[in-house]
């Protein structure tokens, strides 16, 4: 009798976990979790571009300073 109860309990747990995994992988769930990805990618790209521009401006200032050139002459 013990083994029957144990088998039934394991079966119930296995079915519940399988159903949970199936709901998680359903098309609606996957689409819902992927909905915000383009916005996050765009924001990350903008942050990267801003970092690159900032680093380039800093390096340009360092080069002007090292060469002894007045940076205000070269501004647009």
Cα distance between the two ends of the chain: 88
Q: What's the length of the chain?
A: 76
- Cα(4)–Cα(16) distance, integer angstroms: 18
- Cβ(74)–Cβ(64) below 8 Å: yes
The 10s digit of each residue's pLDDT in 5-38 is 889 999 999 999 998 888 887 887 777 777 777 8
**Alpha carbon of 44 to those of 14, 48, 62: distances in Å?**
40, 6, 27
- State the pLDDT at residue 74: 61
Q: Would you kindly state where each structural domain of the chain is located, as residue ranges?
A: 1-35, 36-76
pLDDT at 76: 54
- Token representation of residue 29: 């769930």
Tens-place pLDDT, residues 35-75:
777 888 889 999 999 999 999 999 999 999 999 887 666 66
């Amino acid at each position: 009798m013990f083994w029957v109860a144990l088998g039934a309990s394991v079966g119930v747990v296995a079915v519940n976990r399988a159903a949970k995994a199936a709901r998680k992988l359903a098309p609606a769930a996957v689409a819902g979790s992927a909905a915000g990805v383009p916005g996050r990618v765009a924001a990350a790209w903008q942050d990267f571009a801003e970092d690159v521009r900032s680093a380039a401006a800093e390096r340009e200032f360092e080069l002007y300073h090292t060469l002894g050139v007045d940076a205000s002459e070269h501004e647009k």
